[in-house]
Chain A
């Protein structure tokens, strides 16, 4: 490893590579429940060419290599399960191009969500990107590649669906372009070419290292509002979501269910965020949303909540800092959740399962969902805050996660950004031919097996 260290120093400079115990400790773990795995080295490249040199070196030395963005995935995906080199990509954080007319931005993969949001606000105030509710240090590259979702996901789907193109360093060191940028100076989209982006989306860094990407931007409308529809009957929620998404005026539709504070217990709260260019348009959209749910209001089985101004302000925030604060209910610095991607008709089942698992694991339930697309599916989350200082509590959360993953798969959902053990659970459910195809593709792209090994593997 000493020889590799010296070569890395030559590539990125001594200040940006470490084999020291302190970095090996921190980069071995995240705030979730997964056991730590130490890297041998941590390196922070600043350019695509540096990434390429590191990949070629890793190939030559047959050393595992693990790309990492914000390190906020919570499910331990950037832990180097078989040691090797962790590539912290956050020095690659330049915003390279904003195309106002065609509404896209080209960024380096390590660009933080918060920094892009601030950049657009300052330089292109009429545009915004879909902001996830993860902390602002989450990277654009990381979030797109794990099929993240965010504040415009009702309007435009998963963040991976907002992807226009990629620059990737393949596991064998070649730099390739994916999408229109491969053929044109514009990064306008992935059509009409064969869509190779799928080779890198959802693979957890096992097929290459994305160094640049272009994502879609959307109008940033000056007038914003949120309505919270509340019902006590989880069985109604799929139809509520179906109706409200059907009018196609919201930007984001999310649900939250929690026993704390007391007044929230037993209710399904559905936040409907919408925006407009004029107050009249905002009123019009509000009316359309209300009209879509009139049936339930008339039947007195649901209604819109009166929102105190601080609560409304919090719901209009992106990212919502209150969500991070929620993670602190155990006052223990540990948080993880299962995000089950599933059809919206499974809402009531998922909600009940969340309560059952919490009772079973003697923990507090907290569940919610974000609608993806026009109700095409949802990311239903089961959150488990825990106390890092209490090993029994960590273990309880770990078991709750494992049970939740199993329940999600049994009901027909698929765990999102699954931990290594959950990946194995998914593979067990997966059509063997699909998994075989994944392995064949991976074998072609990464013949030495150096890319984030231990992920999407049976053994």
Chain B
């Protein structure tokens, strides 16, 4: 297994369980399950024991390894320089080993199978990808400045579609030149990568790169931080160097135009940093710049924000595999309770996965009267979506 040589170096000291200010637990799987086994250190030690034959393959071991949300909190908080950079790589390598041995949890197997067979986790035909844009009159990508890439969740999931539409309308309204791929868009592959399916990821990445190059795409606006991350950091390994932006970065460049939009009734808003935008790519300011530019909003931070943000639990494939599950201790429910405690009326998000996870959690916590989950574009568009 790649990175096997570093596994013994983890002390299980537990800094990785916390945010930098120690205010609460910050590892989604440890916070949910509470056994040491589900902490990053537990995972490190178990992987090593598994490779050494001290622990056998089991469905529980697979659940432990695959319940990591790859949120990167452990990498952020680990106090050991250099070693920390490889923590997540080691977990993903462990997953690769399990994928290769065919011992992954059934939900992971089903996800990977759906991607392999249907090209998307929803098991829908490629033609369905065009539905999200119906009635918006969006141009197909030809020679516009940007390609707007919505990804599987933006194209197929009801909540994701709502967000993709809001972003597209807003980009159009503020005069950004962009086109879309509609039915010809493919999965970005980030979740397959995080779930340890290197082969599927490579094949999707190479297919996308070829497609982008054929169309002359130079600059991409990603709806999802997950796609943004993969295109920015992993596609270059396959000779796919593209200029990619998360949509909040484009909005931040247009902050002046946003500040001129019609003010709404004053509302308090708190922002949930998506892990693949924040910790993985250190982009904390753009979403805040946009929210601060928009008239009528009062920003308030949660106890865990920016590099200390608590993951919604939807990363690392868990959005689809649901290994972190529901229940009061699920990361998403814990997160919306924290958001509600700030007194904010809006929990702003910038990721379709987070939008769905947190909106469901607000319902489960009966917090609908108190707080609404809205994507940044939805907030700015108000009732004009």
Contact = CB atoms under 8 A, between A and B. Distances in A.
B212 interface: no
A246 to B, nearest CB: 34
Interface in B3-20: 8-15, 17-18
A22 B33 contact: no
A25 B14 contact: no
B303 to A, nearest CB: 7
A135 B45 CA distance: 18
Interface string B18-46: 10011110000000011111000010011
Given A26-B45, A88-B36, A118 B22 contact: yes
Nearest to A15: B33
Contacts of A30: 12
Chain B: interface secondary structure? Answer: loop
Contacts of B36: 23, 26-27, 71, 88
A324 B79 contact: yes
A141 to B, nearest CB: 16
A137 interface: yes
A371 B58 CA distance: 49
A321 B8 CA distance: 20
A27 B46 CA distance: 11
Given A136-B15, A333-B8, A25 B49 contact: yes
A67 to B, nearest CB: 14
Interface string B49-66: 100001110101100100
Interface string B313-331: 0000000000000010000
A405 B45 CA distance: 28
Contact of A44 (B15, B34, B81, B303): B34
Contact of B18 (A16, A31, A137, A389): A137
A88 B21 contact: no
B23 A388 contact: no
A332 B83 CA distance: 11
Given A25-B46, A122-B303, A42 B35 contact: yes
B24 A328 contact: no
Contact of A115 (B22, B34, B81): B22
Contacts of A15: 33, 327
Nearest to A112: B22
B8 A22 contact: no
B34 A88 contact: yes
Given A88-B35, A136-B22, A324-B13, A389 B303 contact: no
A31 to B, nearest CB: 5
B238 interface: no
Interface in A426-445: none
A324 B46 CA distance: 22
Interface in B117-153: none
B58 A21 contact: yes
| Chain A: number of interface residues, binned into ranges | 35 or more
Given A25-B55, A26-B45, A332-B8, A321 B15 contact: yes
Given A88-B36, A135-B15, A335-B11, A22 B64 contact: yes
A328 B9 contact: yes
B248 to A, nearest CB: 28
A450 interface: no
Contacts of B12: 30-31, 71
Contacts of B10: 333
Contacts of B33: 15
Nearest to B64: A22
A328 B49 CA distance: 21
B21 A118 contact: yes
Contacts of B9: 328, 331-333
A44 B35 contact: yes
A26 B30 CA distance: 14
Contact of B23 (A122, A327, A389): A122
Interface string B75-115: 00001110100000000000000000000000000000000
A22 B61 contact: yes
Given A15-B33, A26-B36, A114-B18, A72 B23 contact: no
Contacts of B81: 325
A54 to B, nearest CB: 16
Interface string A102-143: 000000000010110111011000000000000111000000
Contacts of A27: 36
B331 to A, nearest CB: 15
Nearest to A44: B34
Interface in A46-74: 70-72
Contact of B58 (A20, A26, A117, A135): A20
B131 to A, nearest CB: 39
Contacts of B79: 321, 324-325
Contacts of B58: 20-22
A118 B83 CA distance: 27
A55 B97 CA distance: 41
22 contacts: A15-B327, A20-B58, A21-B56, A23-B35, A23-B36, A25-B55, A44-B34, A44-B35, A115-B22, A117-B22, A122-B23, A135-B13, A135-B14, A136-B14, A137-B14, A325-B79, A325-B81, A327-B11, A328-B11, A332-B9, A333-B9, A333-B11
| A-B interface, 4 closest residue pairs, ranked by CB to CB distance from nearest | A114-B22, A137-B14, A389-B8, A118-B23
